[in-house]
Structure 1
Amino acid sequence: MPPAVSDAGRRRPAVVAARPERTKLKGSENLLPKTMAAVLLTGHGGLEKLEYRTDVPVPRPKKGEVLIQVAAAGINNTDVNTRIGWYSKVITSGTGEGGSAGFDTVDDADATWTGKALEFPRIQGADACGRIADVGEGVSRDRIGERVLVRNMLRTPVDYQPFACWTFGSECDGGFAQFTVAPAAETYAVRSDWSDEELAAVPCAYSTAENMMHRAAVGVERVLVTGASGGVGLAAVQLAKRRGATVIAVCSASKAADVMAQGADQTVDRSADVISALGGGSVDVVIDLVGGPQVSRLLDLLRPGGRYAIAGAIGGPVAEIDLRTLYLKDVSVFGCTFQEDEVFENVIKYVERREVRPVVSRTYPLKAIARAQEDFLTKRHLGKLVLIPPAPTA
């Protein structure tokens, strides 16, 4: 359960955070292996497109980059969506329909975050926790050994252009490997005594949820979170509660008690009609991670002047809404992908101050990624599933 809320509405750290971990790694002795284990995405499609190999060249950090020995890598919806080409506008169904086998028809040209064709093979993995094993030109070697997290929505490759998205594990190789490279400026040392698996559950889920809080300016008000038992959903519950909100969580009845334990004040069964359960105009902010046919009812749920933020549509990317609801109620709609720099930086601070904490339901060896994604698609778990790469050998 998250720590108790102080009178000021912010969570007190449970203990003083640990100093940054530094571990002597092979990179510091120039003993890095030449090849590594990694999962290569070979094209858009089913689970057969995930190829586990042990002969992939270990990347070398370029100027301004660091090489990270990956300790753990979280699984996210974006990994599945990218694999199956769900971002392509020709796909109109939810993620689950093509999650295992893929879709019959995908337009490769627009099947990514950026709307441009993905380059294959690609090492996916938006979440990576590990230790710096080597550094490129211009980066202090004092950083070798730091335990780090990588900002999943990278800004350096797009020269910090507003609304330009360059996703770790999509537009460049990510964390489903023993080693990965990332911009040094966007690789953050973390002062925490959490496990590697817990830290690997943070970057994508918590930055996505914090971005929604930031864009919708969530405060001391009534906030509804859909998909509340998943990684991003639980993060949103914790982060909204951190801001002093009264949190209503939409989840299955079997997970209601667990979601309440993470800070929700009330739950609504995901099969229920939200208007019947809560009443129209009863919520200030909707944090929607599901999309699909329920969007119209979620807009009806908002009070006049309410805000609707969306950052996922696993329930389906196409929704029918009544535009009169938007303009007659002065509803603000926020599509949330691009993240201001402060969003990820704030997440690191929350972790170090123990103001939030992820739930990791299960871990898998990296080579079991197909089984892990199959389990992920069932949505029977709470929070996050995490992959563990094998220890490298010289």
Structure 2
Amino acid sequence: MGVSGTMRAVRITRHGGPEVLEAAEVPVPAPGPGEVLVRVGAVALNNTDLWTREGAYGRPGDPDALSGWRGPLDFPRIQGADVAGRVVAAGDGADGRLVGRRVVVDPAIYDAEGRDANPVGLMGSERDGGYAGYVTAPAGQVHDVTGSPLTDDQLAALPTAYGTALGMIERSRLLPGETVLVSGASGGVGLAAVQIARARGARVLAVSSGRKIDAVRDAGAHDVIDRARDIGEQVRAAAPEGVDVALDVVAGDLVSTGLPLLREGGRWVVAGALGGHTVTFDVRRLYLHNAQLIGSAMHTPAHFGLLMDLARRGGIRPVIAAVHPLEQAARAQEELARRTHVGKIVLRPWDLPATAPDAA
């Protein structure tokens, strides 16, 4: 049985600035075969929301083309990849036992079945997302977290940022005791990488600046590298023998500066381009030192399963910077773009407080 009627949603009908976000009353979607309908408790913002809205991803062979995450968008599109909520209906063939359960949605659209599939699309880009009262999702990508001690706001912070960070860490093969350098450490993915790497037993050097330094240190960084000063000089002072792993969402000039900082056999993992998508570096620093430059887009189903295990036991507590009602999505995206905050910005589509965990 579905939910009839209409719902509030915020969607885009074209690429552009925050002004293209429009609030609308739209029909509640019906779950298709194998899908469930989730009442959205909270939806977190990500940089991908900004870039999808702007069409800033480019296309192979045409880096300046207006494009969504993996190609042209079908407008209108409801944004929002990161959803926590409760299942209220199941479509034909979906697991009806999920109805009534508190869940987090894996927002990736995968290229295949199996634990190691690659994401080739994203909820909020290639299909409608969670800037709405309800959203549909494949039942196999809806994870039951009913017993989690985390609030809906915290759970919604996990999928893209923490999933991307965990994907980077898994692909880097980070080991306890290794030294890891995290760029953009005050942002969603960066802060998640700091927290997860610290929990994995790594020594964490985090790049940040200004008033954010204390917050990054509080999140688990052993040392904070001030972005406003010479990064290479500071890293060499903090880790004279070099860095084993770099978890990089900045790219740009940092790659050319940072590759010589890797130890023999070091791994530089890139999952963003906040500092620019065109990179120049001395390739000799790559092959002469058996270093690896690894691209990492989000997570696999196996990575997301590990993340949900953390969520169920409260192994990581996401930092929430701000919470806004759904109608303030444009204001929230502008706040995200200013990058003056630490942690995640969350929207709530219902006029309710953050959902507390269910009583056991």
Q: Same fold (TM over 0.5)?
A: yes
Partner of residue 304, structure 1: 264
Distance 1:377 1:222 in 2: 30
Distance 1:159 1:216 in 2: 23
SS in 2 for 1:385: strand
Partner of residue 119, structure 1: 74
Alignment-mate amino acid for residue 41 of structure 1? I
> Compared with structure 1, are the counterparts of its residues 49 and 159 closer, same or farther at alpha carbon in structure 2 (3 Å cutoff)?
farther
SS in 2 for 1:318: coil
1:203 is the counterpart of 2:203: no
Contact in 2 for aligned 1:129/1:196 (Cα 8 Å): yes
1:349 is the counterpart of 2:304: no
Contact in 2 for aligned 1:226/1:251 (Cα 8 Å): yes
Show structure 2 runs of 5+ residues with no match. Answer: 353-360
1:79 is the counterpart of 2:49: yes
Partner of residue 23, structure 2: 52
Alignment-mate amino acid for residue 258 of structure 1? A
1:330 is the counterpart of 2:285: no
Partner of residue 264, structure 1: 221
User: For each residue in 1:179-234, what CA deviation from the matched residue of structure 2 results, as whole angstroms up to 9, or x when unmatched?
Assistant: 00000011001021221111111111111000000000011200000011111111
Distance 1:139 1:129 in 2: 19
Q: What are the residue-to-residue correspondences of 1:1-394 with 2, within 5 Å?
A: 32-53=3-24, 55-88=25-58, 107-108=65-66, 111-114=67-70, 116-155=71-110, 158-159=112-113, 162-190=117-145, 191-220=147-176, 221-279=178-236, 282-337=242-297, 339-390=299-350
Distance 1:253 1:380 in 2: 10
Please state how far the C-alpha of 1:339 moved relative to its aligned partner.
2.8
Partner of residue 357, structure 2: none
Q: What is the TM-score with the length of structure 1 in the denominator?
A: 0.84
Please state how far the C-alpha of 1:112 moved relative to its aligned partner.
2.6
Distance 1:365 1:206 in 2: 23
Contact in 2 for aligned 1:37/1:390 (Cα 8 Å): no
> Compared with structure 1, are the counterparts of its residues 259 and 344 closer, same or farther at alpha carbon in structure 2 (3 Å cutoff)?
same
Alignment-mate amino acid for residue 107 of structure 1? A
Distance 1:347 1:298 in 2: 28
Kindly report the root-mean-square deviation, in angstroms, between the aligned alpha carbons of the 2 structures. Answer: 1.9
Contact in 1 for aligned 2:7/2:26 (Cα 8 Å): yes
Distance 1:256 1:164 in 2: 32
Alignment-mate amino acid for residue 362 of structure 1? A
Please state how far the C-alpha of 1:390 moved relative to its aligned partner.
2.5
Distance 1:371 1:281 in 2: 45
What percent identity do the matched residue pairs reach? 42
SS in 2 for 1:128: strand
Please state how far the C-alpha of 1:338 moved relative to its aligned partner.
5.4
User: For each residue in 1:121-173, what CA deviation from the matched residue of structure 2 results, as whole angstroms up to 9, or x when unmatched?
Assistant: 11111100111011101124332111110112233x75559435121111111
Alignment-mate amino acid for residue 268 of structure 1? I
Distance 1:162 1:213 in 2: 17
User: How many pairs align?
Assistant: 345
SS in 1 for 2:36: strand
Distance 2:298 2:207 in 1: 25
